[in-house]
Amino acid sequence: MRRLVFLILLSASPSNLFSQESELFTPEKRKAFADYLLCEKDYLRASEEYEAVNNVNQNDSLAYNIALCNLKMNEFEKAKNCFFQLRNSSLGEESKLLYFKTSYLVNQNFDEIADSSASRFKKEELKTSFMRLKLAAQIKSGMTANELSSLSNNFDESDAKIVKGFAENFAHPKRKSPLAAALFSAMVPGAGKIYTKNYGDGITSFIVTGLFAFLSYDNFRAHHNTRGWIFAGTAAFFNAGNIYGSYVSARNYNLEREEELNNEFDSYLNSKNYFVPKEIEGNCK
C-alpha cells in the first residue's frame, strides 16, 4: 500500500514542478522581468526577454521597448528601423521622435529625415523636444547663435546661454592648420607636432633628425663623404616623414577636437533631458 502511494506521489511530482516552472515563465511575468532589467540598464537581457514575449504576443509596446534597448546599446541602425516601423502605431509620436533622435546621434543630415514639421506632434512636450533636436542639428552644422531661431523659446534662460556657447564653438572651432604644421616641421624638425600638442613625437623627431644631421656634418668634416651622404640621406628621410606626420597630426587633432565637442554637447543635452522627455525612454523612477 505504501509503495502504491509513493509511486502515485512520484508520478505527480514532475507535473507539479513543470506547472510551477510554467507559471514563472508566463508572458506577464517575463514582461515584468524585462521591465526590471531595462530599469537596471541590463539592456541586452531586457531585449531578449521582450523579444521572447513578443514572439508569443506581438504588440506595439513590446516592439517599442526592443527598439529602446537597441538605442541604449548604441545599435542605432536596428533602433532606427524599429522606430520607423512604429511611426503609425499607437506609440507613433514617441517612436517618430526617437527615430529623429537616433538619426541625429549617427550624424545623419537632419533636414533630410525630418520631413515632418513640429506641428505634426500633437503633444506639446514632444513638439518642443523635436525643435530642440532640430536646433542641436543646426548648431552642429555650424550655424551661429545669431542665425538660430527660437533658441531662447526652447531652452531655459541659463541653459540657452550655454547652448549659445556651444554654437559659437561649432561655428568657430579651434583648429590647427595642417599646412602650417608641415611648414613648421620643414623649418624646425618636430615643430609641427609640437604645434599640434603632440609633444612627445615632436621632441623625438627633433632629436633623431638633429642627431643624423650632426653625424652627417661630422663625417663630411672628417672627409668621410660616403658615410656623410648616408647620414644626410637618413636625416632627410626622417625629416620628410616628420613633415608628413605633422600634416597628419594636425588633421587628427582637428578630428579629435570635433569629436570631443560633439560628445560634450550631446552629453550636456542628454543630462538635461533636452533631446526627449525622460518618461518616453522607459518608465523607471
What's the pLDDT score for residue 149?
Answer: 67
Residues 33-54: tens digit of each pLDDT = 988 998 898 999 999 999 999 8
Q: Is the dihedral of CA 117, 123, 129, 135 positive or negative?
A: positive
pLDDT tier, 111 (very low <50, low <70, confident <90, very high otherwise): low
Residues 221-264: tens digit of each pLDDT = 888 888 889 888 888 888 888 889 899 999 999 999 988 998 89
Helices (H) and strands (E) counted in the chain, each on its own, are 14, 0
For the stretch 71-75, contacts whose Cβ atoms lie closer than 8 Å and that sit 24 or more positions apart, written own/partner, are: 71/98, 71/101, 71/102, 72/41, 72/43, 73/43, 73/44, 73/47
Grid cell of 226 as nine digits: 660616403
How many CB atoms sit inside 10 A of residue 112's CB? 8
Q: 9, 254 in Cβ contact below 8 A?
A: no
Q: 184, 157 in Cβ contact below 8 A?
A: no
Q: 193, 249 in Cβ contact below 8 A?
A: yes
Residues 127-145: tens digit of each pLDDT = 888 888 888 888 888 877 7
Domain boundaries, the chain: 178-267
Please determine, for residue 270, whether its predicted confidence score (pLDDT) is greater than 50: yes
CA distances (Å), 118 to each of 93, 112, 115, 245, 263, in order?
Answer: 11, 15, 10, 47, 25
